[in-house]
Chains A and B, each alone.
Chain A
Amino acid sequence: MSIFKRNPDPIGPLDYSRRFSLRFTVGLTLFFLYAPIVGLIVFSFNDSRRNVVWRGFTTDYYVKLFNNDALMLAFGNSLTIALFTTLFSTVLGALTAYVLWRYRFPGKAIYEGGMAMPIVIPEICMGVAMMVFFARIGWPSGMIWPFNLSAITIAHIAFSFPFAAIVIRARLESFNPELAECARDLGASEFQVFRDVVIPHMKPGLIAGALLAFTLSLDDFVITFFTSGPDTVTFPVKIYSMVRFSVTPEVNAASTVLILLTLVVTAFALRMQNRNNMLGSSGH
């Protein structure tokens, strides 16, 4: 193994990547991070009901998965909730970030802290609070799809938008205020400045914020669990109920699909961002 071999070149003080201790730590971290995921994916192809030992390759469980109407319904619910959550969280997050970046007003610190509350409040508390709240105000349940998902969606927006706001705010920090003043000087109104100069600058933040909101919503379990009813089961909640009976390869397959979906969305967002950067830098 090359990492154990003595290298004829002496290792310089800043050659961290050639130190055994560092390589070992990184290796161990990567192992614990990815081994379970790789295992999960591999065993989704396992031809065994109990899914403890490897019995041979099959894609049966994927077929079963896609024929499982209850699971597919939950999947559809999750996607719908995630899409609405993404939309609202990004817009709310962008507006919040802009207000916090652009203006000074009394109570700003309190507002900023209050806005970030959902990030620090334990999810379980937030879940219970949401459940009690919706029950207390008598939020209508049993409406037709997709309105039956409104309670979950509102809860998701409530905990997702602060993340989006923080990401977008961070992006705004690098904005040169002279750009806004210059647009103003050239005849733009406050709104035109926002549309023509500020939003283009925010774009990477908007994409990152949207992505964050989407993934947060898609895989949220705790808060969803408290706000969902029998007819509004989401994908993670459904998987949880399946696991309670037994961990079949079907659960693995479902998880694999979720991972793939997240990867695809992330890759897409990164691509978008890269393309924007390319547009910005070379004019192609």
Chain B
Amino acid sequence: MSDTATAPATGEPIIRIENVSKIFGGTVKAVDEVNLEVQRGEFFALLGPSGCGKTTLLRMLAGFEVPTHGQVIIDGHDMSTVAPNKRPINMVFQSYAVFPHMSVEQNVAYGLKMDRCPAKEIRERVAEALDLVKLGSLGKRMPDEMSGGQRQRVALARALVKRPSVLLLDEPLSALDAKLREAMQLELVRLQKTVGITFVIVTHDQSEALSMADRIAVMNAGTVQQVAAPTTLYEAPANRFVADFIGKINMIEGDAMKAGEGEVTVTAPGIGEVTLAGSETGKVALAVRPEKIFVADNEPADPNVIKVKGKVGEVAYFGSYSNVFFDIGLAQPLQADISNVTTDVEEITFTAGEEYWVYWRKADTLVLSG
């Protein structure tokens, strides 16, 4: 695996997806004019709800689907119509697809056998790959004697042993229980840093993508909504879909007008007129994350906040924080995640019907269209 890790890092992206569309049966547009670049050595995630086209895109990378239009360029070569067994790419399948009639070693060796590697090299590389995924001592086991987590490691070793340019992972953690999933997230990141191979993971689980990936492409209805680092996606989502899909968010509908260079004035019911950084005009949503909202008994004096009076509605207590819904006279209540920073039970208890000033910084307010 070391030779891939030390591969020269050129500026050329390892994967270029150019205007790729996939139309099934002449009518169903699964992937619609997608352009994407994945950099060498990156941990890249395709994130989106089910049916958004992320799996189809992954299958086009692996070679199981051929794009209807556009090109898939891998490592500088157009691979759009190349068969899966001829691509420098390997995949970890959702079901792990560990061959049930082969031992762990035989599973891992299979790809090398297909490449007609000499037996000695196969033995060495299989042992190395099994060590890498911490299955060094279980080579003789049969798959049905192993746990789900171990089977996944077999699938990982089997794909990595071929030293692919890119490793594709299709919902790799969805079949694991919560605890194992968290452990495996860390493990995958460690593995990716160790081998230096580009990972492209498909997931519908935002926390998985946020915690593991260097960059994430959020997809919806066959199109890419935004490609960005996890922090950018969360703090500066490009549109309503991304803001809503990633994490929790409050949205207040309003109208925006251009106010100056990079500034818009938004008029929204219950809030009035505020001038904020942004460029979207027309129908917009003022959006703010629940954890960025503060609560006070008295009206805050700070001019750089947006403030409304709210009446406590439903309260959900989560230990470290409380999720409190405030009725601010609009159709949608405003939800706030309030950190329980004291041990004073009185102080952290919210009772339905109580009135508070609810406010947040203008700088934390997003103006979203779409």
Interface residues of A (CB under 8 A from B): 176, 178-179, 181-189, 192, 196-197, 200-201, 279-283
Contacts and interface: CB of A to CB of B under 8 A. Distances in A.
Contacts of A280: 100-101, 142, 144
A187 B113 CA distance: 9
Contacts of A176: 95, 97
Given A188-B114, A280-B100, A280-B101, 14 more contacts: A178-B95, A178-B97, A181-B93, A182-B97, A184-B64, A184-B85, A185-B85, A186-B159, A186-B162, A188-B85, A201-B101, A280-B142, A282-B145, A283-B145
11 contacts: A176-B97, A178-B97, A179-B99, A181-B97, A185-B62, A187-B111, A188-B114, A189-B85, A280-B101, A281-B142, A282-B142
B49 interface: no
A280 B145 CA distance: 10
A235 to B, nearest CB: 37
Contact of A186 (B90, B101, B140, B141): B90
Contact of B110 (A186, A189, A279, A283): A186
Contacts of A279: 101
B129 to A, nearest CB: 13
B162 A283 contact: no
B142 A182 contact: no
For chain B, the bracket of interface size reads: 20 to 34
A187 B97 contact: no
A183 B110 contact: yes
Nearest to B91: A185
> Would you list the 7 A-B pairs with minimal beta carbon distance, nearest first?
A187-B114, A186-B111, A182-B97, A178-B97, A200-B101, A178-B93, A283-B142
B178 to A, nearest CB: 24
Contacts of B93: 178, 181-182
B158 interface: yes
B142 to A, nearest CB: 5
Contacts of A187: 85, 111, 114-115, 162
Interface in B58-82: 62-64
Interface string B116-158: 0000000000000000000000001110110000000001001
